[in-house]
Structure 1
Amino acid sequence: MLETPPSSNWRIALPRGATAVPIARAMVRCALQDLGTTADRTTAQLLTAELVANALKHTGGDHPIELVVERGPDGCQVEVHDGDTVLVEGLGEPAPMAMLMSAAGPGEPLPMTGPRATGPGTTGPGTTEPGTTGPGAPLPAPAAPVAATAPRVPAIRNRGLLLVRSLSSGSGCRRTQDGKAVWFTLPEVHRTRRR
């Protein structure tokens, strides 16, 4: 008698609401265990939570959300499907380190010039007249702009997508028949045995 091979993917419909994220985290952990993949489960749970939270935040209440986990020859791919047709931007190849460093503020790169200073003639609450010293006196304007120490990198507005990009081996967004799928891949982790 021929045995059917175990399924190489899981499909899970998620509820809309606050329970979707913890359910998705638990389901991706179970799916990776069941599929026998050695991909990092903690990273998979974190990135899945980010994608499900984004789907909840950016899609209407009538769009269903589905989690798909598939094992491939080089690792696993996790997808979050929703009914919204607007594709997510900012995914693709893993993010360069400079981009990670520039994510200091929500959607803002780190400043690349010296400290902000007020110029002569600036007055307002807590300041004194130009040319005076003491608490609240305006700072002199710098003589020349301070050179940037690192190249400017476009800012990513969504830190969750930056996490997905930086912690996965690949990520993206594609259209589906009913909307879109946002996905990431994680490689198999080859552990060495201790003696």
Structure 2
Amino acid sequence: MPEATRPTATGRTAAGRTAPGPPPAGPDAGTATSWRVRLPHTTAAVPIARALIRTALTDTAPGTDDRPDTDTAELLTAELVANAVEHTAGTGPIELVVELLPAPGGCQIEVHDSRPARPGDLVCPDPAVGVDPWQEHGRGLLLLRALSSDCGHRPTEQGKAVWFTLPGIPTQRRRRAD
């Protein structure tokens, strides 16, 4: 069962650091709200993480303008959680940190795991090297780079955190199904 901490409204991530990118501008910019959830180190963590992201981005602030695209957030979160389950020793939980960013909106999502090694290549791939369409693996970080507005990784005391940010989408540009 996932274990969660209460949302914070401090302008900092649940990990206690300032979110990447420029700080909120002016007093009307608001503060960020964040959650930290411990997930089991099994494949069951992937659908749990997807459901948590959907809830965090839709149910917690249904009237909020400039929310990120929930489908993209779910997809990228599922990729990071699946990578953490597959590529780390199953000795500890995986942590999911979700931060709703203040104006102009958007979110930052982090997945923490116990392996300190880099998560592959988070820089743009060489365009001369093609992607093998028959491979079952190897597209998660490509999706992360292509669909997020920013992404990266950083060391933590227990291993590493891999993160991405998504911009807010103005209400008038959001799909009607949302």
Aligned to 1:176: 156
Q: For 1:188 and 1:97, how far apart are their aligned partners in 2?
A: 29
Residue of structure 2 equivalent to 1:31 = 56
Deviation digits for residues 22-57 of structure 1 (CA, Å, limit 9, x no counterpart): 000000111122255610000000000000000000
Report the TM-score when normalising by structure 1. 0.62
Q: Is the 8 A contact 1:63 1:84 kept in 2?
A: no
Preserved contact between residue 107 and residue 168 of structure 2 (Cα < 8 Å): yes
- Cα drift, residue 96 of structure 1: 7.5
Instruction: Report the Cα distance in structure 2 between the residues aligned to 1:90 and 1:176, rounded to whole angstroms.
Output: 18
| Partner deviation per Cα, 1:97-125 (whole Å, 9 max, x = no partner) | 947x9223467xxxxxxxxxxxxxxxxxx
Partner of 1:183, secondary structure, is strand
Describe the shift of the 1:77–1:7 C-alpha distance in structure 2 as closer, same or farther (beyond 3 A): closer
> What is the TM-score when the length of structure 2 is the normalising length?
0.68
8 Å Cα contact 1:106/1:158 also seen in 2:
no
Q: Secondary structure at the match of 1:171?
A: strand
Greater radius of gyration (CA) = 1
8 A contact 2:113–2:158 mirrored in 1 = yes
Q: Distance in 2 between matches of 1:66 and 1:96?
A: 28
Match of 1:55 in 2: 84
Aligned to 1:65: 94
Unaligned runs of 5+ in 1: 108-156
Is contact 1:48-1:78 (8 Å) kept? Answer: yes
Q: How does 1:8-157 map to 2 (within 5 A)?
A: 8-33=33-58, 34=60, 36=64, 38-73=67-102, 74=104, 75-92=106-123, 95=124, 98=127, 102-105=130-133
Contact 2:118 2:153 in 1 (8 A): yes
* Matched-pair identity in %: 51
Listed as ranges, the gaps of 5+ residues in structure 2 are: 1-7, 10-30, 174-178
Q: What amino acid sits opposite 2:91 in the alignment?
A: D
Tell me the amino acid that sits aligned with residue 161 of structure 1. L
Counterpart of 2:38 in structure 1: which amino acid?
A
| Paired amino acid for 1:180 | K
Shift of 1:71: 1.7
Change (3 A) 1:97 1:89: closer
Counterpart position of 1:149: none
CA contact (8 A) 1:106 1:159 kept: no
SS at match of 1:78: strand
